[in-house]
Structures are given as structure tokens and as C-alpha cells.
Amino acid sequence: MVEDRPPRKRLRGYSMGVRCQNRAKSRSAGRVFVRVFRIFKVFAVPRPILATIHPAALQHNLDRVRRAALDSRVWAVVKANAYGHGIENVFEALRGADGFALLDLAEAERVRALGWRGPVLLLEGVFDARDLELCSRLGLWHAVHCDEQIDWLAAHKTQVPHRVFLKMNSGMNRLGFTPGRFRAAWTRLNALPQVDEISLMTHFSDADGDRGIAHQLAVFEDATRDLPGERSIANSAATLRHAEASRADWVRPGIVLYGSAPDFPAHDAAHWQLQPTMTLATKLLAVQTLQAGDTVGYGSRFTADGPLRIGVAAVGYADGYPRHCDTGTPVLVDGVRTRMVGRVSMDMITVDLTPVPEAAFGSEVTLWGRAPNGTVLPIDEVAQAAGTVGYELMCAVARRVPVAVDG
């Protein structure tokens, strides 16, 4: 299945640009337009860039989570359009999860439209009192992190009581009730006829780092010890790195499902036995031969110190490839690891062809993911070169990049 997202509107723009002075002219312009349209339809081959989603890898990574959290049910976190992969593209592979956790009603509607009848959790709850109506209709479970959300529930008219996940701010200081106010929130919710079951959740700030989860876990356990209800505390990093300590009824992995190591560079995806779920690939559009002293790209950021073949690849920051990547960023050409040189442009990058002397016009360039020869370039390495994390690169793949699902 190939989802070719962008170009439709461009055609409409063309037709608006046709100006006719009389009917005859208008008819002939119309015929020209139809002919142009036909030609366009036949010959509009997209740029060679493609993001490919790998369902088998998604399934593998879900199994990996299951093995790490044997007694827990698994929320597959598919917010941010399944971390840029497309909810529809990952759904079949992840339907072995126990539920889908996501951000908003639009994403929840998409999951229901795919036929999912099981649990769906709004991780930040509702953003407006009116959203509760759709929660009732779609049977959504939702986080409750503030007094306003409880007020809205108290005023909500529903025949179907809601399942809620009461969120504690155990130290991250983003969303949730502080430990001192948690019990009062629970008591209020518990008294509402609109509420069916109350589960308890919190979120860790340092599960991927040296500080760890012990301090927040102690706060959470202390404040909830005698409260009934299921618990959900672990994201990807906690699930893999602190499996014992963060054991609970539900885990909430996101990034590991998408094959990125939650604690890179301390550990890489191979260490956690994760497989890449997205490959971003393109082709060489041109090859240049440089001499010592020749420079490459905007700002002449790279200077050749001797004869050098470079390839020009059809990807740029307008595709979501980060402009912060600089000379040295890893890239695969025909499955051979090499480096980017010079600045990332809007639609192109330039790569050193020294390790791949046979590379030529049309050679395959893998920006991250798996090359046709099986070599993997972890997204985390590219993210590191850009001073960011794999999460951001996945989410930032631009709409103009066509997406295919393999298998």
C-alpha cells in the first residue's frame, strides 16, 4: 500500500492560473488543461524519496515489550500519529497490544474507525468539557490531571460512567495532582456517578538517565498505598531499564515500539534487541568530482582536501531531514556506511562517496532504517548528529514524503 500524500492541490492551483478572454478561448484552454492534466497524470513520477514502515519490526518490538513486562497489559502509545509512522500504517501490527494510548479525540476516532473495540486511553485527558460527550460515545478512557477536568466530569450528562486514570505529579512537574492533593482528587472522583473505575498513573522524568525512577516511585507508592485501582507508571525506558521496579498493571511504551533505544547513547537499539520500524530512503540525483580546495553547498561549510567524489541525494530539511546535521552525519549509500558533507539544503544533501566508489546516479541512499542489503543505520545515530532524539526525527517526516508499508 502506498500513500502518496501531497500533490493534488498543485493541479488545482494551475487551473486557477488559466485566464480566458472569451468562450472559445476558454474551451481551448480547457482542452489544453485536460491534455496537460492527462500528461501530468501519466508522467508525474514522485521524487525518489520514500518512508517505508515495517510491520514485522513493529510486531517484533511489541513482543520485546511483552517479554520485558510479562505480567502487565500493554498500552501501545500511538500519539503524534504513531510517532510519525501513521496510525493506519501501524494498527494491524500493533493490534496485539491490550489498548491504544494517544493524545486527542481525532486520533481516538481514527483508532475506532479502524475497528478497534478495546481500550483507548487519552493520555492527557480531555481539553474541553464538550469532549466528554465523544468520550462517552466512543467509550474512551481518559486521564484526569487537574481540578477543571473533574469539574467537567461532574457536570457531564452521561448514561455510561467513565473509566479514568487519575494522574499524579510525582516529581516531573508537568501534569498531575501533587501527592498532597491526590487523595482529595480521588475522593471527589469516587463520589461522581459519572465515574466508573479509577486507575492511578504517573510519569517518570528520568527513566532513561542516571537519576532513575526510585525517587518518583517512592512518592507514588507512598501516596497511593491504600488506594484501590489499577496502576500504570512505566514508559519505554522504565519498562526496559527498570522492569522489576516499575512492574504494574499496565505499561505505556511508545518509542521502543518504533525501534529506537529509549536511552541512547547509553544503550543502542541492538542492545535492546529492537528493530527499525521506519526506513527513510532516497536516491542519488547527481555525482560531482571535487578537487582540493573545492567547497560544497551553502556557506561552503565543507572543503575537499584532495580529489573527492560526492553524491547529491534527494532529501532535505523540507522532507524532515534535520538541518542541524553537519559533516560527518552517518548515511548509507548502496548499503555502505559513509558520511554527509556540507550543509543540509531544503531538498538535497551531499554525501562522501569514498567508501562506495561504484556509487552512481540512482544509487540508493538510506537516511535511517534498513538498506536493501540489510545494513541498519539506527535513527538514534542520525538524531545524535542533529543534537536531538529519534522521537523528533520520526515525528518530523514531512507530509510531502510518500509513505509505503512493506510486507
CA-CA distance, 30 to 39, in Å (whole number)?
14
Binder of ligand PLP out of 156, 203, 242, 283 (CB under 6 A): 203
Give the binding range for ligand PLP (CB under 6 A) out of 17-25, 253-261, 285-293, 323-331: 253-261
Q: Is the dihedral of CA 185, 187, 188, 194 positive or negative?
A: positive
Contact status: 90 vs ligand PLP (CB under 6 A): no
Shortest CB 396 distance to ligand PLP, Å:
15
List of residues 6+ apart from 69 with CB closer than 8 A:
234, 239, 243, 247, 251
Determine contact, residues 137/123, Cβ cutoff 8 Å. no
Cα R_g (the chain), whole angstroms = 25
Contact status: 262 vs ligand PLP (CB under 6 A): yes
Contact status: 74 vs ligand PLP (CB under 6 A): no
- In the block, cell 481500550 appears at 119
Judged by CB under 6 A, the chain residues 107 through 146 that form the site for ligand PLP are 123
Known catalytic residue: 79?
Answer: yes
Cis (ω within 30 of 0) for the bond into 355? no
Q: Which residues pair with 2 in a beta bridge?
A: 404
- The count of other CB atoms within 10 Å of the CB of residue 112 is 17
Known catalytic residue: 298?
Answer: yes
Contact status: 86 vs ligand PLP (CB under 6 A): no
Candidates 79, 283, 317, 321; catalytic one = 79
- Which set of grid coordinates corresponds to residue 8? 493534488
Shortest CB 253 distance to ligand PLP, Å:
5
Give the binding range for ligand PLP (CB under 6 A) out of 38-46, 252-260, 290-298, 325-333: 252-260
CA-CA distance, 282 to 204, in Å (whole number)?
37
Binder of ligand PLP out of 55, 125, 176, 254 (CB under 6 A): 254
Shortest CB 262 distance to ligand PLP, Å:
6
Q: Which CB atom, from 76 or from 348, has the smaller least distance to ligand PLP?
A: 76
Contact status: 216 vs ligand PLP (CB under 6 A): no
Coil, helix or strand at residue 60: helix
Give the binding range for ligand PLP (CB under 6 A) out of 13-21, 155-163, 247-255, 393-401: 247-255
Determine contact, residues 78/87, Cβ cutoff 8 Å. yes
Task: Calculate ∠ Cα 42-44-48, nearest 5°.
Answer: 135
Contact status: 236 vs ligand PLP (CB under 6 A): yes
Shortest CB 294 distance to ligand PLP, Å:
43
Contact status: 277 vs ligand PLP (CB under 6 A): no
Q: In terms of DSSP bridges, do strands 250-251 and 73-77 run parallel, antiparallel, or are they unpaired?
A: parallel
Contact status: 259 vs ligand PLP (CB under 6 A): no
In the complex, the residues that contact ligand PLP under the rule CB under 6 A are: 77, 123, 203, 235-237, 252-255, 262
- The catalytic residue positions are 79, 298
